[in-house]
Amino acid sequence: MRTSSAVLRAGVALAAFGAALVGAAPAQAATHVVGCESGYGNIACELYGPPADSVRWSLNGVYIPSWDNKTSVSTACTIGQRYTFKATVTTGSVVESPVYNAVCRRIPS
């Protein structure tokens, strides 16, 4: 089977377009994760990942300015209640927002 030069040129152009798309992908993939532990009426959370330019925490959707740029935070909690911790992490032009949902426990989980 013979392939025409027009088909070959189209294939080369398509390959170049695909390579350009791959090159346009974000320079950094999502790499930060929040992990939390609960026990004794307290929840402690930690941000895992490479160093970040800035970190902003929120608890149940409320921004907590005193936790800015900390990699670990903790708070007293009500046994049985669910809490949502979100860290908005900025590294260069990449912004990530890992979230962790935790239930307050009386004893360590």
Task: Write out pLDDT tens, residues 30-53.
Answer: 699 999 999 999 999 999 999 999
3-state secondary structure 3-31: CCHHHHHHHHHHHHHHHHHHHCCCCCCCC
Farthest-apart Cα atoms in the chain, separation: 75
pLDDT score, position 30: 64
- Whether residue 3 lies inside any domain: the answer is no
* Assigned domain for 26 exists: no
Q: Is residue 69 part of a domain?
A: yes
Beta bridge partners of 33: 48
How many domains is the chain partitioned into structurally? 1
What CATH number is given to the structural domain containing 63?
A: 2.60.40.10
- How far is 85 from 79, CA to CA, in rounded Å? 16
**pLDDT given at position 4:** 43
> Within a domain: residue 40?
yes
**Helix spans in 1-109 (H):** 5-23
Instruction: Evaluate whether residue 64 is within a structural domain.
Output: yes
28 is a domain residue? no
Determine if the pTM surpasses 0.85. Answer: no
Backbone torsion region of residue 5, taken as left when φ is above 0, otherwise alpha when ψ lies between -120 and 50, otherwise beta: alpha
Domain assignment present for residue 43? The answer is yes
- Where the chain has pLDDT below 50, the residues are 1-25
Burial label for 109, CB within 10 Å (0-12, 13-18, 19+), is: exposed
Given CA atoms 66, 70, 61, 103 in this order, what sign does their dihedral have?
negative
In a domain, 80, yes or no: yes
For residue 46, give its domain range.
33-103
